[in-house]
């Protein structure tokens, strides 16, 4: 019984991770000095999202990963 439950849980976990896509990239601009940065998450307080989403770390290819 425990083995079949473990196999079912492992299968469910694999199924969910198989559908995962990478996070999109966004262009951020510093409110302090206007410097621009391409990142997937908010770099720190004092930054504002100015464009995106992008497919790459240079913020050159517009789009949402996985679509």
Q: What is the mean pLDDT of residues 1-20?
A: 69
In a domain, 5, yes or no: no
In a domain, 31, yes or no: yes
Structural domain count, the chain? 1
Give 39-59 pLDDT, tens digit per residue. Answer: 999 999 999 999 999 999 999
State pTM to two decimals: 0.69
In a domain, 3, yes or no: no
Residue 16 has pLDDT above 70, yes or no: no
In a domain, 2, yes or no: no
Domain that holds residue 42: 23-62
In a domain, 17, yes or no: no
In a domain, 57, yes or no: yes
Per-residue three-class SS string for the chain:
CHHHHHHHHHHHHHHHHHCCCCCCEEEEEECCCCCEEEECCCCCCCEEEEEEEECCCCCCCECCCCC
């Amino acid at each position: 019984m425990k083995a079949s439950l473990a196999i079912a849980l492992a299968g469910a976990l694999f199924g969910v991770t198989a559908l995962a896509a990478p996070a999109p990239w966004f262009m951020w601009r510093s409110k302090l000095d206007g410097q621009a940065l391409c990142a997937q998450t908010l770099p720190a307080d004092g930054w504002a999202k100015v464009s995106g989403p992008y497919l790459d770390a240079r913020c050159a290819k517009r789009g949402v990963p996985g679509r």
